[in-house]
Amino acid sequence: MLNERNVPKIKVERRWSWGSVRRMCIKYELYTGGSKEEYIEMLNYVDEHKPTVKNLYIVAENIKRHSETDRNIENIMFLLEYDAVLIMFNIK
């Protein structure tokens, strides 16, 4: 039987990094049309912001705009979440 009464406090921490987003772009052959400066600007944005839904959209839209791909923004957001965001749980 499942016990819902004794669940401890659980903190979820989400992180991404310059390197994790870069690896995701390489893996899926994305960001093939941007300049070096535009690419670095996007990666710096990642390092300066948490991976909220809003920020996932901002980065995915930037990647889409600088890519020759049939993937839509929602799919790129999923790829970011799946391949670039690290989710950690801390049980108190």
* Domain residue ranges in the chain: 11-91
pLDDT greater than 80 at residue 16: yes
53 with 81: CB under 8 angstroms? no
Asked if pLDDT for residue 1 goes beyond 90, the answer is no
Question: Which pLDDT does position 4 carry in this prediction?
Answer: 85
Of 6 and 80, the one with more pLDDT: 80
Q: How confident is the model at residue 2 (pLDDT cuts 50, 70, 90)?
A: confident
Residue-level pLDDT at 3? 85
Instruction: Give the span between the Cα atoms of 3 and 79, in whole angstroms.
Output: 34
Confidence of residue 6 (pLDDT cuts 50, 70, 90): confident
Span 34-87, pLDDT tens digits: 999 999 999 999 999 999 999 999 999 999 999 999 999 999 999 999 999 999
Q: Are 42 and 31 in contact (CB under 8 A)?
A: yes
